[in-house]
Chains A and B, each alone.
Chain A
Amino acid sequence: MQPNNDLSLHRIMNTESLDSGLTWEVKANSSFYHKHKQKKSFLCFHWGRYADNVVRSYKYSPLTFLPLTLFEQFQRAANLYFLLIMVMQCVPIISAVPWYVTVIPLLSVLIIRGLKDLANDLARRRSDREINTRPCDVLVSQSFQTIQWKDVRVGDVLRINKDQVIPADLLLLSSSEPYSLCYVETADIDGETNLKYRQALSATHTELTSQPSEEVLSAFDGVVFCEEPNNRLYTFRGQLQWRGEGFSLDNEHILLRGTVLRNTDWAYGLTVYTGSDTKILRNCGKVRVKTTRMEKVFNRLVVGIVLCVLSAALLLAIASSVFSTWVMSHTQFQSVLVVDDNPIYTGFLVYWSYIILLSPAMPIALYITFDMIHTIHSLFIDCDMEMYWQQTDRPAQARNTSLNEDLGQVGYLLSDKTGTLTQNHLLFRQCCIAGEIFGDASVRAEDVELMDLGWNPYSCGNLFMSAPMLVQRLREDQCPISRQFFTALALCHTVMAQWTEDIPVYQAASPDEEALVCAARELGLVFLSRTRDFIVVSELGIKRQYELLAVLDFTSKRRRMSVLVREPEGGVKLFCKGADIVILERLEEDCPHLDKTERALELFAEACLRTLCVAVRSVPEALWGQWRKTLTKAATMATCDRDALLETLYDQMETDLLILGVTAIEDRLQEGVPETIALLQEAGLKVWVLTGDKKETAINIGYSCKLLDPEARLLEWQELREILQSSDPQISFLKGRQTDVWAVGKESAGVKTSLVLTGPELAEFDQRPEWEPTFMKLADQCQSVICSRVTPAQKAQIVRLVRKHTSSVTMCIGDGANDVNMIKTAHVGVGLAGVEGGQAVQNADFALSQFRFLQQLLLVHGRWSYRRISLFLRYFLFKTCGFALVHIWFGCFNGFSAQSLYERWFIAFYTVFYTATPILCVAIFEQDVNAESSLKQPELYKCGQTQELSSPLMLLSSLLYAVYSSLILFFIPCGVFYNTAFDQQTMAVTVSMAATFIATIEVILLTRYWTKINVAAVCTSVVLFFICSRITQSAFLFQRSPIDYSFMGVSEKAFREPVVWLTAFLTAWTAFLPSLTAHALRVVLSAPNKHKVHSVSSHSVELQSKFRRRTSSHRSSHQQRM
């Protein structure tokens, strides 16, 4: 080939690839070229193209920490508000209190927050450094040298050894395995622990594996054109230009950063994306911030408080103007009281002064304390032994630390079925081949008489099915269709085989596949290994090699997968397995055994088994040839066009199928599921199950996990539709119910209704949005709702429906990638760390290991959190407002001049030192009822659902209480000190003392769980008040700065005055009286209710046992009926 020619070809290729969006160019072994173009930045200017391979997850540098952290913190409205107040305080003419009064709380908030950010950032830096300095082998002038990850550049050729983490996105060139296959573990990317295989292009494989590899590799001068860096983990499109030829590249050829090389001694790769361009780092997207309902209410309340403060200040300012006018007209010598002899101007200044003076009413320390409490509550969840799952060594995990109180208010629990309610530990229990059913699912798996499979060297003995007849037929080769059935199971999958001690261990993406392949193995059709082009199967001892022509992938939309293979004999066959409805509609006409198969499907579904249809098609050679051509064409097309084309292509291939049989897999319920559901329902939660399974399976699971009452009436779509269409849905619903009652008899007077829907039926809501509110109203009255056959998108849609039409908190729980959408949509998402990949957990707010841990999470942690945080918020509101609003009343007695009633230091310390710790202890330790009783009395949970403790009314009452206490705080001392020789500073000390007392008494009343820490906190807070008062009013400090410590000697004298003490006590008690009365009233009124709770709890235990007996009898009757 002429070099000139080569160049022009290159150019042509280059422009071509530009057209199709392949604009990312990587030249192998030309480090200089890429280094030149490396991304650099100075200040805010960036240039260059390729990122370096350094992870920078930290946010701050020593230089930028202060400005950045301040900038971030002042984005919070509350902090900004206080900064403005502080700035205003620096204006002498309006500063009612000196600037440092606000600085102390503000600074402490900023410092705590800043330190927290700094600690996180340092931890990130440490982990970054750890990652960046990991070693890896790079090819430099014909030999491999060990360098650090951060020095890897685009275009480098790397050698990855066994069990090494891959440092950048690589194009696989060759590996130690045959066909340059290599296996990777993607646990860090998607949490899936099964191995996946990648394979090099056959061109690079053949050319680059010759020895010595270093030489060959350093001579490699291919150029890769591919997409710009993106976050799509499962797609890759590119082209390798090498030796004048173009090879198309896809995801199969790419090793992603963060994956681990397994079962492969070494692999060579060409670095394509580095650092921030890699797919995994592109995926570190922002997490959607969820805020709790209570926080929203509270934010609104804070805005309300600010508005109130502003209007109060306005009124006081007007009054001040009026007063100034009066002063102007009456006195000469006190004209100092009016600024510039201008009453209007005075009023204007007084307005700002009052905003400053009343600003403590706005609880600044609240947000930081709120964060702190949330973090501690999350820590409690992480540390709970009751939610620790020994088998997988996994404690519960609060991934989102700001949703704790929502856990105590959940109204709707929407649960996935598979893997969530069930174990997702799948057992092959039955099958139907050519209309004949083998195995018996009514026998429990442990009781199954294991078949003698000694003739099969690959058997591991975990087949819980007894069908000697089937084995006999297989071994004697009497029935080709059953043999074909199991061959299909051994061929049609994406499982990887790993050999340990001569027995293949399967690595499967889904437990279903694993169960099926294992079942085939037990029965003698053993999947041995796969390469890119071949699958090797041992058929009853005879090894046969099938050429793998194509894999028609599974998607949730297609709900089936197929493989196209060439048999050793030469024929082309398509094996297909998938959901019954999709398979049945693709069968050839007059398919035999169809009726019997359908009957078997029903039977399996009623026995709560998961079914898959298996079918086969013999593909004529001509059709295959034609189909293949279109497929290769499709491979080079742009993503979206290609997907559409592939779909139709696949559709064409998967027709005229011949049904072989049906597999039935048992998925057993998780431990404690029925009890948990019963308990949660007792706690007032509505439990909905959303599943992709068949309706019958879903209903049966519903019965077995006690979601459905045996006597419950199942309201299905037809009926529901009529109700929804009728003029008054409510009446027809009740009517329908009543006739049902008559029909069943009076025994089931308390009959309950459950809704059963399917995905396609739900889709009708898209056309009839006006049904939604009515539907939700009906669903609200039903005991439970089961939605089957729903897609992941529909799951999320249902959650959205619930969120839209109820004010309740929704919680979604799921374990698989198909639940991610709904987990993200719900108020609170819970991920079960189960058999399927970790995607659900990655996207969830809370991660659990078992469904039954929900009891502990909701009824104990959730309820406590809700209670603690409501108490905390209301108390905080009370103490800050009560203390600050005093100035309004005092204003009426000092000419509306914004004179502070308190010593400036008291204002500064009050929220931080004198009243913070006791309520913090309440917010951390408070338990009204211990964990065991919480679980025994699920009724207690209802208090959160109805927002009993945090309703706007309750918050408002706290606010009113604060106003009342501020009135008392001012007017009782005012009455005492009126027309006496006591000076203003003595009164200030008296009122501060009373304010501290009120705050303390109130928190003492709130605390129901007195640990030593609580006692210590209460005592120190009060003692601190006296100590700090004496310190700030000491002669020592006064002499340092007379203006700042002008209260010198006041407390010393005041604490010796009996009148001061008597006044403070009287004030505190009078202010506290309504709170005590309210408590007493509640105690007096709730006494009989408490009795009720106790009697019910003893009752419910009895009920449960009855319940259990009845359902088991139901189940058998159910089976008899079929």
Chain B
Amino acid sequence: MMASSYNAKEEDGHHSGSASHGGAAVVKSKKPDNTAFKQQRLPAWQPILTAGTVLPAFFVIGLIFIPIGIGLYVTSNNIKEFEIDYTGVDMNSACYSCAKNFSWNSTTSCLCTVDFTLEQPFESNVFMYYGLSNFYQNHRRYVKSRDDSQLNGDMSALTNPSKECEPYRMSEGLPIAPCGAIANSLFNDTLKLYYLEANGTRNEIPLVKKGIAWWTDKHVKFRNPGGNANLTAVFQATSKPVNWRNPVYELDQDPENNGFINEDFIVWMRTAALPTFRKLYRIIQKKSSTMPTLPSGKYVLDITYNYPVLSFDGRKRMILSTISWMGGKNPFLGIAYITVGSICFFLGVVLLIIHHKYDTRSTGADIPN
């Protein structure tokens, strides 16, 4: 008792005395403000999660997802797609010899021809893709091996490309245009499609090569240095990429599709997300409303085989596909939606059962109270 009765006097210790002592105190009530914020009484909506609100969420989501999934799946199934692998791994395949003998160093092209049959006609516009497998276009060292300034028509970057382009930056003392590994490995097979009529004549199908690149890429991101005229002069002091046959200003005859703004080049430069990918090659436009774009029947694909993929176990494919509002064929999305929707529905049912059991038990327990 005494300890507490005199305690204020004995104490030798540690006062956290402040230096700001003795200031003239303004006589003012220290009563806190009665504001909603400070009193933590801000008006608020307080949703209370009950079984009645949570469980329907599962069913509602399930009921939304499953139809979407079905819709996507049907849409995807309606898309006609034809895919042919022309790598030439198999002894019997047409491009076997090309694949075997070809390397980057060859100077002459190797030609091979693949026949195929379309069972069903392709009605609307048909998109022609080339697909590559096991090609790590998303490898960091590959992805960063480019110079966007150079590709955007910057003169100084043309003569002095970014360091990122190493080891495809300079060749024989001249700067490479376009520099870097991506450009260097440009896909350079040429594909030609023929319709084989019943009488055996080959009708070449017109392939449109404009409009395959993104508009922003073609018009903003990629630009030729000093405009599209006189490309030869502009690129004079530069060297072509090591693996290329032709310099960049000879990619196409059309000045609107030459140099850096060549659409095949632009498409290639937009690197793929995953090691198996496809890229838009050409568009086959629908000509008349009555005739299908690609009628069913026999076709011949003429390939100028330039691109070696066998060395890294890669595959090359040619894909013909119609498209819908959701793009190309993509069964995964539809199936995923259906699956997730079903899981939601299933979880809802399970929870409902648990809820039902618990509820009866607890009400049963409550009665004696």
Contacts and interface: CB of A to CB of B under 8 A. Distances in A.
Interface in B304-339: 308, 311-313, 325-328, 330, 332-333, 336-337
B40 A258 contact: no
A1079 B10 contact: no
Contacts of A1017: none
B269 to A, nearest CB: 10
A731 B350 CA distance: 45
| Size bracket, chain A contacts | 35 or more
B38 A284 contact: no
Given A258-B22, A1011-B43, A981 B2 contact: no
B214 A1049 contact: yes
B331 to A, nearest CB: 10
A1038 B221 contact: yes
Interface stretch (A170-178, A328-336, A773-781): A328-336
A92 interface: yes
Contacts of B107: none
Interface string B120-156: 0000000001010000111111110100110110100
Residue of A131, A693, A981, A1010 contacting most chain B CB atoms (<10 Å)? A981
B19 interface: yes
Contacts of A96: 140
Contacts of B337: 1062, 1066
Given A131-B19, A692-B2, A974-B274, A1039 B152 contact: yes
B169 to A, nearest CB: 11
B49 A1079 contact: yes
B317 to A, nearest CB: 9
Given A383-B38, A1070-B340, A333 B184 contact: yes
B231 interface: no
B6 A692 contact: no
A897 interface: yes
B162 interface: yes
A332 B49 CA distance: 61
Nearest to B275: A893
Contacts of B202: none
Given A894-B139, A925-B44, A1073 B354 contact: no
B4 A818 contact: yes
Contacts of B272: 983-984
Residue of A336, A559, A893 contacting most chain B CB atoms (<10 Å)? A336
A314 interface: no
Given A336-B141, A1059-B333, A1080-B58, A331 B23 contact: no
B94 interface: no
A385 B152 CA distance: 64
A405 interface: no
A331 B21 contact: no
Interface in A1015-1058: 1035, 1038-1039, 1042-1043, 1046, 1048-1049, 1052-1053, 1057-1058
A265 interface: no
Contacts of A417: 4
Contact of B276 (A842, A979, A984, A1059): A979
B271 interface: yes
Nearest to B6: A554
B294 interface: no
Contacts of A530: none
A1084 interface: yes
Interface stretch (A27-35, A184-192, A741-749): A184-192
Residue of A285, A843, A1080, A1095 contacting most chain B CB atoms (<10 Å)? A1080
Contacts of A1059: 326-327, 330, 333
B16 A898 contact: no
Nearest to A925: B42
A41 interface: no
A45 interface: no
Residue of A131, A988, A1013, A1042 contacting most chain B CB atoms (<10 Å)? A1042
A843 to B, nearest CB: 7
B201 interface: no
Contact of A330 (B18, B279, B313): B313
A156 interface: no
A809 to B, nearest CB: 23
A1048 B17 contact: no
A553 interface: yes
Contacts of B333: 975-976, 1059, 1062-1063, 1066
Contacts of B358: 1084-1085, 1087-1088
B42 A1077 contact: no
B11 A383 contact: no
A1088 B361 contact: yes
Contacts of A1083: 49-51, 54
B362 interface: yes
Residue of B11, B61, B275, B279 contacting most chain A CB atoms (<10 Å)? B11
B46 A1049 contact: no
Interface string B67-110: 01000100000000000000000000000000000001000000
A384 interface: yes
A555 B6 CA distance: 8
A900 B163 CA distance: 20
Contacts of B159: none
Contact of A510 (B5, B325, B366): B5
Interface stretch (B29-37, B203-211, B232-240, B246-254): B29-37
Contacts of B369: 1095
B1 A977 contact: no
Interface residues of B, number: 118
Given A131-B19, A188-B22, A1066 B336 contact: yes
B354 A976 contact: no
B1 A697 contact: yes
Interface string B238-262: 0000010000000000000000000
A1042 B31 contact: no
A416 interface: yes
B19 A791 contact: no
Given A127-B19, A333-B104, A1088-B358, A579 B148 contact: no
B266 to A, nearest CB: 11
B168 interface: yes
B349 interface: no
A331 B216 CA distance: 33
Contacts of B270: 983, 985
A332 B311 contact: yes
Contact of B8 (A190, A337, A394): A190
A1080 B312 contact: no
A161 interface: no
A393 interface: yes
Given A393-B31, A692-B2, A836-B8, A981 B129 contact: yes
A388 interface: yes
A47 interface: no
Contacts of A1010: 44-47
A395 interface: yes
Interface in A468-526: 494, 509-513
A232 B333 CA distance: 77
A1062 B276 CA distance: 22
Given A336-B145, A982-B273, 14 more contacts: A57-B20, A283-B15, A336-B141, A510-B8, A556-B10, A612-B1, A817-B11, A979-B278, A980-B330, A1008-B49, A1010-B44, A1013-B42, A1042-B154, A1083-B51
13 contacts: A57-B20, A130-B20, A260-B22, A285-B14, A509-B8, A554-B2, A556-B2, A894-B139, A897-B142, A975-B336, A981-B279, A1059-B327, A1070-B340
List 6 A-B pairs, minimum CB-CB distance, nearest first: A692-B3, A1049-B216, A1088-B362, A1042-B148, A188-B21, A512-B5
Interface of B: 1-23, 29-34, 38-40, 42-51, 54-55, 57-58, 61, 65, 68, 72, 104, 129, 131, 136-143, 145, 148-149, 151-152, 154, 162-163, 167-168, 181, 184-185, 214, 216-217, 220-221, 243, 270-280, 308, 311-313, 325-328, 330, 332-333, 336-337, 340, 343-344, 347, 351, 354-355, 358-359, 361-362, 365-366, 369
